[in-house]
Amino acid sequence: MERNTSLVATIFMISQCVNVCFIIALGFIYSIVVYVFACAPQFHPNFIVLIAVTSVNFTIFSVCRFILAVSDAQCYWEECFEGPLILNKALNHVESVRLGSAIFFISIMPVVVFERFMATILLSSYEKKRLSFVTFLQLILPIACTVQIVRMLQSDSINIWFLCGTGEMACLWLVLGLLAVDYINQRRYKHSSTAGSNYTLSERFQLAENIRSGRLMRHSASVLVVGNVIIIACFAAIYLADTFETKLIFKMAYDTSVNAVKICFSIITIKASHIWTEIFWRTLRKIRKRFSVKLRIVPAAKSLTPTASFTEITEKWRKHDKSTNFRTCTGKPMVFSVKEECDLYFDLYLRSWNHLPTDKPKNGEFGFSMRLKTGESRPKTGKITSSESQNAALSSQRKRPKINYWIAAVKMRKAISIA
């Protein structure tokens, strides 16, 4: 029996270490999701307040889980826990905050449905309403409910079946409420589009906003409901389990369910709107460009011997990279303005016309030679001036489109790497 206990405890310790990594990664992803929503909020201000409060509560819940996971990974024996929910004995206050944030997340679901019902009923005036007394009550009631339930859990004076049944009813209320609200809005919107309807422009706008909000929330709410049903079931299993090993197994299932719900919720929320998807990927690209380390592969060169030294290879790569990667003195990618690109165009044209060397670039120039075909005969004697080269270049531009130097640079770099 001692061997089985040690095996389960060891697996639990490993799962908590993995859980720490998941919490860090999911916190990073969720912060980007919040940033995307802040850049393009697509809901009514009253509903945005509820989402903001839920996000803050979600952040508190994640921080508490991170602290508890680190502690559980270090102390995973039976004497480190207490109570039927195997709460961390050393971090009892953190466990209380975690339970409170989880209960608050469940209790705010009926409030979301109530806010959507208010937006459906008050079509003519809800568009102009901002932070009202109703919104204040919507925030106070879940907080009061959370505090009371946490106190009853700590004193072990609450029936676990009543608590889990209430949570399941809250999830069911969210699904049925959103479906009913969407059905009412769809019927009223069709009626407003018929001839002879007395709907004002503000009412039609609010109807369209309600339908759009319901469409954005539909899949996210489904994920939350299904995930919360599984999480509540794992929570009840932890409470009702007889042995410590069984409680640890259900606790691992609880942590895995929470992580899975976070991943699915973030993905489906971003995919609900193409604007959010675009901002999300654009933000990831910015972060990758700022913090990523680019691995440079030395291109094969015929001039290098099989026993070439590291200094020779590095020098060859430096010359190749300098001729195709256009960067400033600080190492940042060089971006040309329209005027600089125009000056560079005419300067390259003048140098190629007069057969001047272009392999060694000056400051701010490209490091490769490019000759332009103008269709005009070159003067036999003398060198043309800058104004004459501009006139010749302008005449050539009427016959063919302007050369994209960035595309030409990329093509030349690929050709050099292949060679």
What would the pLDDT profile of 107-136 be if each residue is shown by its tens digit? Answer: 888 888 888 888 888 777 776 665 566 667
Instruction: Please give the residue that has the higher pLDDT: either 308 or 39.
Output: 39
Distance in angstroms (rounded) separating the CA atoms of residues 183 and 207: 11
Give the model's pLDDT for residue 335. 53
Q: Which residue has the higher pLDDT, 131 or 91?
A: 91
Q: Specify the pLDDT at position 302.
A: 42
| Highest mean predicted confidence (pLDDT) among 12-16, 330-334, 338-342 | 12-16
**The pLDDT of residue 88 is above 70:** yes
| Position 191, amino acid | H
Residues 6+ apart with CB under 8 A from 49: 131, 135, 139
C-beta atoms surrounding 209 within 10 Å:
19
The stretch 50-79 carries a mean pLDDT of: 81
Q: Show the domains of the chain with their CATH numbers.
A: 2-290 (1.20.1070.10), 310-418 (no CATH)
Q: What is the predicted pLDDT for the residue at 123?
A: 75
- Between helices 92-107 and 133-154, what is the axis angle to 10°? 140
| Rounded average pLDDT over 307-316 | 48
- For tokens 């030409």, what's the residue? 408
How far apart CA 250 and CA 355 sit, in angstroms, is 78
pLDDT over threshold 80, residue 248: yes
Tokens encoding 282: 């654009």
pLDDT of residue 409: 60
Query: For a pLDDT cut of 70, what percent of the chain falls above it?
Result: 63
Percentage, residues of the chain above pLDDT 90: 0
- Name residue, tokens 């990618």: 333
- Look at residue 152 and tell me whether its pLDDT is greater than 50: yes
Residue type (1 letter), 66: F
Confidence check: pLDDT of 169 > 70: yes
Helix (H, G, I), strand (E, B) or coil at 327: strand
Q: pLDDT band for 413, please (50, 70, 90 cuts).
A: low
CB 95 within 8 A of CB 63: no
